Amino acid sequence: MIVFERRMEANAIWTLASFIIAVVAGLAASAVLIASTGANVQEVFGALLQGSVGSPKALATTLVKAAPLILTGLATVIAFRAQIWSIGQEGQVFAGAMGGYLGAQLLAGLPPLLFFPGVLAFGMAAGMGLGWIAAVLRNRFGVNEIISTVMLNYLVVYLLSWLLQGGPWGETGGTVAYHQSPMLPGEAFLPALFGSSRLHTGVLLPFLAAAICALVMSRTPLGYEIRGLGYNPEALRHKGVDIGRTVTVIMMASGALAALAGSIELFGVAHRLRADNLIGLGYAGIIVGMIGGLSPVGTVLAGLFFGGLASGAVYMRVLGDVPASLVPAMQGITLFFFLCAGVLARYRIVMKVAAQ
């Protein structure tokens, strides 16, 4: 009889082997999916590499695409490690862009050293506000955070829709109203790196945030509380930790990270408020965090991988002649095998003889 036994402690070699197996299995399954469309598998993977890392321009695009995914992935890591199942990253991304846009209106004319930290702070404050609301609903009224954060997602998306479609932030041209805000002035664009037209200074923030998250999680009392809340909240409560306060801090920090993703998309990429630029970044970040094993370093690697997929998607469609829906399918396949790898890393297969 085959049974699964939980490992008392993780085996580093087996964990690494599990994730290597997941990568190989994911690529193999993706190859089968590509072949089923009638496309040449080798050409499609070649186009993917060319579009993601095949040139400095492609590499810059990969980094820009990966930046918001890493941030929303880190937001997932902080919450999920504490077993707080927040699904509010999507709405917090929108809130971050909206808060940043409001900040740009209020802080216009300030020097760049004050303007950019100010507008990013406005955006993060909006995400923290959503996290605080969900925490209050959980702590005071026992509302499950999955329900509250999903409902808040809808509220924020519809609020942005109203603001842009006939609301005070909408762009109009003659008698036509567009579902977007007017373009930000050039001085509100995040500065470019290395003279690139695509790469902006905002791509540095996810790596800084990941380093801070890793430090906080491993070396601070808050990190201990996050891990303790995930492992054994009752033991943490008996130790004298205020669980409600910890939940509030975690959800606000998670909201701030996801909102930062929306802000850097606004000031570094879109340069105007448009919902279609933001859709899916929060939900994709949940996948990135899960594939990254709920660790900051793993999330950075997973975010770069998904950024490469997003960057290479255009090349895959044009050069590989595959449908646009193939990339989300590949992401789902990758998530499935990485989740399986996580189970393999925590359990071992044991053969037992049934008792006579």
Residue 284 CB neighbours (<10 A)? 22
**Burial class of residue 32 (count of CB atoms within 10 Å of its CB; 0-12, 13-18, 19+):** exposed
Residues 120, 155: Cα–Cα separation, whole Å:
22
Residue 207 has a pLDDT of: 97
Digit-coded pLDDT (tens) for 259-293: 999 999 999 999 999 988 899 999 999 989 988 88
Specify whether the CB–CB gap between 169 and 273 falls below 8 A.
yes
Q: What end-to-end distance do the CA atoms of the chain give, in Å? A: 13
- Which residue is associated with the tokens 């992401």? 331
Residues 355, 339: Cα–Cα separation, whole Å:
33
Digit-coded pLDDT (tens) for 226-271: 999 998 899 999 989 999 999 999 999 999 999 999 999 999 999 9
Residue 61 has a pLDDT of: 93
The Cβ-side half-sphere exposure at 122, using a 13 Å CA radius, reads 20
Which residues are within 8 A (CB) of 242 and not within 5 positions of it... i.e. 6 or more apart? none
Does position 175 have pLDDT exceeding 60, yes or no?
Answer: no
Range with lowest mean pLDDT among 137-151, 203-217, 322-336: 322-336
CA 41 to chain centre: 29
The percentage of the chain sitting over the pLDDT mark of 90, rounded to a whole number, equals: 63
Torsion of CA 119, 121, 122, 127, to 10 degrees: 130
Digit-coded pLDDT (tens) for 34-50: 898 888 899 889 988 99
Digit-coded pLDDT (tens) for 53-66: 999 999 999 999 99
